[in-house]
Amino acid sequence: MQLVSLLDKMKMEHLASQLETVCEQAAKRDLGLKEFLAEALQTEWNGRHLKGVEGRLLQARFPWVKTIEQFDFAFQPSIDRKVMRELAGLSFVERAENVVLLGPPGVGKTHLAVALGVKAIEAGHRVLFLSLENLLTRLTRAKRENRLERQLQLLVYPKVLILDEMGYLPMNREEASLFFRLLCRRYERASIIVTSNKSFVDWGEIFNDQVLATAILDRLLHHSTTINIKGESYRLREKRKAGMLCPHPEPKEDSPELPVAVAGDIAAARKKEEL
């Protein structure tokens, strides 16, 4: 049988498309038979891996793709690089543990959540990114349409579920109890990464129910790593560098809260970005 049709039958499309180059390179480098075979199979493997990563990146529905390598840790000294390095090693995914990223707007919570998601995708895991608002819309609609069980199954399937912006909007009782159900289903089975601008003491407000908030925190934090980012907004730094905002003193090391004037700047900067 012809080589090309064999490759076709064996669905080795990547090697088939690069066959000429692989052979030329092998001849140039005077490779032995085994070395050539390894090189050819590596070409096919690389192509498959890349295609898998691209597919999983699309399925993840990230708002944008950012990596750990693109994160400027020098700008955010409150983040323990060792902890981030360990998380990037993905043993938390293997152990179905959670990650909670807390901090004021613009400090890089979503960036780090997406970056960990990208690492998980590169390692072959399925990831899904949802804003909390989007998650609650999905769950309440599914319940209304009598297909909650199916929706919960879909949300348990990804090895990593990223829930972004917990706490920007409070939940009603139904939403909070649906969220709790999802949490119970994923508990000790698959990881959740949550980002929030609210510290844990304020989570009672988010869920409108202290008892439920305690039960949610209990499940979420039982096996988890919390990263509490205390620092200035990266977006504001960029705007300030560009001379679009008046200079402000740096926020104090021990105070995660931004001064009111800076909060105003954030709103203005966000508006500008939205335009």
Positions that interact with ligand ADP (CB under 6 A): 66, 70-72, 75-76, 103, 105-111, 195, 234-235
Q: How far is the CB of 103 from Mg ion (least distance, A)?
A: 9
- The option from ligand ADP, Mg ion, none interacting with 256 (CB < 5 to 8 A, set by class) reads none
- Number of residues this chain uses to bind Mg ion (CB under 5 A): 1
When the beta carbons of 108 and 256 are compared against ligand ADP, the nearer one is 108
When the beta carbons of 43 and 196 are compared against ligand ADP, the nearer one is 196
Asked if residue 76 binds Mg ion (CB under 5 A), the reply is no
When the beta carbons of 152 and 166 are compared against ligand ADP, the nearer one is 166
Q: How far is the CB of 146 from ligand ADP (least distance, A)?
A: 35
- The option from Mg ion, ligand ADP, none interacting with 76 (CB < 5 to 8 A, set by class) reads ligand ADP
Contacting Mg ion within 98-137 (CB under 5 A): 110
- The option from Mg ion, ligand ADP, none interacting with 108 (CB < 5 to 8 A, set by class) reads ligand ADP
Q: How far is the CB of 204 from ligand ADP (least distance, A)?
A: 22
When the beta carbons of 62 and 180 are compared against ligand ADP, the nearer one is 62
When the beta carbons of 40 and 132 are compared against Mg ion, the nearer one is 132
When the beta carbons of 76 and 110 are compared against Mg ion, the nearer one is 110
- Do β-strands 191-196 and 224-228 pair in parallel, antiparallel, or remain unpaired? unpaired
Distance CA 118, CA 115 (A): 5
Q: What is the 3-state secondary structure of the chain?
A: CCHHHHHHHCCCHHHHHCHHHHHHHHHHCCCCHHHHHHHHHHHHHHHHHHHHHHHHHHHHCCCCCCCHHHCCHHHCCCCCHHHHHHHHCCHHHHCCCEEEEECCCCCCHHHHHHHHHHHHHHCCCCEEEEEHHHHHHHHHHHHHCCCHHHHHHHHHCCCEEEEEEECCCCCCHHHHHHHHHHHHHHCCCCEEEEEECCCHHHHHHHHCCHHHHHHHHHHHHHCEEEEECCCCCHHHHHHHHCCCCCCCCCCCCCCCCCCHHHHHHHHHHHHHHHC
- The option from ligand ADP, Mg ion, none interacting with 45 (CB < 5 to 8 A, set by class) reads none
Q: How far is the CB of 163 from Mg ion (least distance, A)?
A: 11
Q: How far is the CB of 3 from ligand ADP (least distance, A)?
A: 46
Closest CA to 163 of 117, 199, 124, 123: 117
The footprint of Mg ion (CB under 5 A) covers: 110
